[in-house]
Amino acid sequence: MAAAVGGRAPLPDPGPQVSVIGAMLDVVVIGARRVRQGIGEFVARSFHQAGARVRAVVGTSDETTRQAVQNLRARYGLECAGYTALEQALERERPDAVAICSPIPFHRLHLEQVAAFGAHCLAEKPLWWAEQVRDRERTTAALVDAFVRRGRHLALMTPWPLTLPDYDRVHPGRQGRPVAHFEMRLSPVTEGTSMVLDSVSHPLSLLQALVGTGEVRSPRAVVSAPGGRHVRLDFRYVHAAGEVAAVCHLEATAQWPRPAAYALDGRRVERRIELPDYRIFFEGGGRRVALQDPLARLVRRFVDAVGSGAPGDREGLICGMRGLERLMAAAAAAWDAAGGR
């Protein structure tokens, strides 16, 4: 059995802005060490800022887990235990919630373990993925329903919908109008079909927030640029009141901060990030507005949902995975035609 590799002490007083709900929530974070594009460290920080007690982190080895514990202590004053096995962290820390920020191949196992334990869960996107699975929708439904049956909240880390009020500050007057055309640009660090797997949950979450749960229809992918580092995904998003013509541009880049933008019916916003303070802005239509960190807002919304007993979005999670599967199939066919994934 894996051993704990860090101690635990009381957290520093997070200040008067902390919610009572957050202060009652004990959390374990899987994958809190930042490598390449991992967000686990920032998720742990956001839970701490929301008033939750980050009791422990889970890593892949004693050394990487120790590094995660030390980073959280040095950067955010966070004191937590470290484990190399989720089962042991659950048994010893008895958390109310778990944040899954592990690599995608481990999501399914971790979801099953968290559901069996009976904790709430905030999972990095996509919810899960494995290449050799015959019926992904049935698997997704089983994973989601394991939380539903126990009355536990399950949500996905897709913070882009929380930027819609900021979009409306840049382009006022959108509210109440149907959206007919949607376009998004993202810049993953991965290449090939992995860039689709890493990214398309974001546009799908925005579409769900804009027009409700819907279906991806007629997906088509076009691969371009040397080495297939750019893919354009076109599809119809069919929902209860009509459909949206959607386009997603994914271009692999090592640039940091990574470029990102989206447009509703041609009205575009560009995300700008100013370093080293990591200040986030939207620019478009001659306006520039500052954003609160969408990830921190998403974590606080999760904390509030747990506290209020709000159910997770079962239909949205299942339909989002169905859309991901269809877009992945279109991308795989395009990369095969271009000579490889």
pTM score:
0.90
Q: pLDDT under 70 in the chain at which residues?
A: 1-23, 34-38, 225-228, 340-341
Digit-coded pLDDT (tens) for 293-302: 999 999 999 9
Reduced 3-state DSSP string for the chain = CCCCCCCCCCCCCCCCCCCHHHHCCEEEEECCCCCCCCCHHHHHHHHHHCCCEEEEEECCCHHHHHHHHHHHHHHHCCCCEEECCHHHHHHHHCCCEEEECCCHHHHHHHHHHHHHHCCEEEEECCCCCCCCCCCHHHHHHHHHHHHHHCCCCEEEECCHHHHHHHHHHHCCCCCCCCCCEEEEEECCCCCCHHHHHHHCHHHHHHHHHHHCCEEEEEEEEEEECHHHCEEEEEEEEEECCEEEEEEEEEECCCCCCCCEEEEECCEEEEEEEECCCCEEEEEECCEEEEECCHHHHHHHHHHHHHHHCCCCCHHHHHHHHHHHHHHHHHHHHHHHHHCCC
For residue 48, what are its two tokens?
């701490």
Burial 118-140 (b: 16+ CB within 10 A, else e): ebbbbbbbbbbbeeeeeebeebb
pLDDT at 31: 93
pLDDT at 225: 65
Digit-coded pLDDT (tens) for 77-129: 999 999 999 999 999 999 999 999 999 999 999 999 999 999 999 999 999 99
pLDDT at 216: 98
Ordered by where they begin, the domains of the chain are 20-157 (3.40.50.720), 160-338 (3.30.360.10)
Digit-coded pLDDT (tens) for 292-332: 999 999 999 999 999 999 999 999 999 999 999 999 999 99
pLDDT at 328: 96
